[in-house]
Amino acid sequence: MNFIAQVVWIFPKFDTIYLFYIFLMGVAAFIYVKVMNYLQNKQTSVVNHWVEFQRYAVARKCNQVELNILHAFYDHLNEEEREIYLLPENRNKLKNALYRYFLKSNANTTEKEVDLFDKLFRSGVEFKKEILSLNELTLGEVAALEADGREELTYVMQKTADELLLSIKGLSKDLLVPGKEAKLYVFRPSSGGYLLEGRVIRTNESGVIFHFNGKIERKGESHLMLTDKVSLTVSPWPPPDEKKQVLELDKNKLLLTEENIDKQLEVLKRIAKDQKENNEKRFDIKETPRPFITLSERLSDRGILFTFPPGISAEIWKQQDLWEVSFGFDNGPMFHIRAKMMPTKQKSDLYLLRYVDADETVRKTLYDEIRKRGGIREALT
């Protein structure tokens, strides 16, 4: 008997409830795809916000250390905060959030935090202003109150001609003692840091009154450079002796021993072999470092970019450790500074003279001369 023929095929009964199940599965798949696309687009959007904000920070002259600080702050935020704070229209919200973050964090120096606030949030008009009095300080300006060898973050709430009302939030109680000598650190991206001397005269639950005594000290100045060409005289240092005593033996008394003759023959054989192999470069006489005159491409209070004049080999930087560079300005002082010479990575024909013995007095004088002549922020490499 054929067993297959006896099998009765029973098809499952199709109920309308299955249509409902299929519908639910389709809706669930649709919602899943929509949610995943939303989360992916949201994450992409937040990442793009960070990339754009990073570009903004670089354009505002933030260095790599400051970018690292900002990235640590970014990692500290939740996804919703990242999306809100990094938008260009929310700079004030970002400033407040960053200030709160710095009050809770001890990872950075307070002065570095002040510098970062000025670079990010200072208006273009105020970017290049120097601090000559309290008039140049702005309400809401982030600063650091320094006393007893430490500094703590604060900001300016009100001001008069010689007094400031500073935020008390985040300041230690022992910094709020009336009569305490203190300094207020403020920063301007174009000219650097300033210390305003004074003392704490009153405190209450709202803030601290800082009385400014009129003395301002420069601290941690930014570096400026001139792009105008300045004539440079560059000389090897120490200068070579004018005359070197040459010790010569009486040739008539030289002993031609068998050993000496063998050594001379060996040298002649090597020379002949090199000449036969066209290795003529071994016999080139290296140029001796000597003084030359050229023009600066960029001149700052830390170094000078220049190009070698015709007739001077660029290879001489390898043969001399230190150089003395001399230059001056119209109606200004002359400078004689020792420096190390090295090539730059930027262009093959640009070389850098990096000062090695310019003390603070020389640097300050040079900085002031560059500033008088319209110096811009330094970029030597």
State pLDDT tens for residues 321-378. 889 999 999 888 999 999 989 888 655 688 989 898 888 788 889 988 998 888 876 7
Instruction: Give the DSSP letter of residue 9.
Output: P
357 token code pair: 């013995």
Beta strands in 220-371 (DSSP E): 224-226, 231-237, 292-300, 303-306, 322-328, 334-343, 351-355
CATH 2.30.110.70 maps onto the chain at 134-220
Percent of the chain at pLDDT > 90 equals 24
For the domain covering 134-220, report its CATH number: 2.30.110.70
pLDDT digits (tens, 9 = 90+) for 54-85: 888 888 888 888 888 998 998 888 888 887 88
Distance CA 225, CA 329 (A): 14
What does residue 343 show for φ and ψ, rounded to 5 degrees?
A: -75, 155
| Structure confidence at residue 275 as a pLDDT band (50, 70, 90) | low
Q: What is the DSSP letter of 376?
A: E
Which of the two residues, 367 and 222, has the higher pLDDT score?
367
Q: Does domain 221-241+287-380 have CATH number 2.40.10.220?
A: yes
Whole-angstrom distance, CA of residue 47 vs CA of residue 59? 18
Could you give the 3-state DSSP secondary structure of residue 341? strand
**Per-residue CA distances from 10 to 1, 13, 14 (Å):** 21, 9, 12
C-alpha to C-alpha distances, 281 to 220, 242, 273, 285, nearest whole angstrom: 49, 29, 13, 9
CATH 2.40.10.220 domain span(s) along the chain: 221-241+287-380
Task: Determine the Cα–Cα distance for residues 326 and 339; give it in Å rounded to an integer.
Answer: 11
Q: State the average pLDDT over residues 271-284.
A: 56
Q: pLDDT for 170-181, tens place per residue?
A: 888 888 889 989
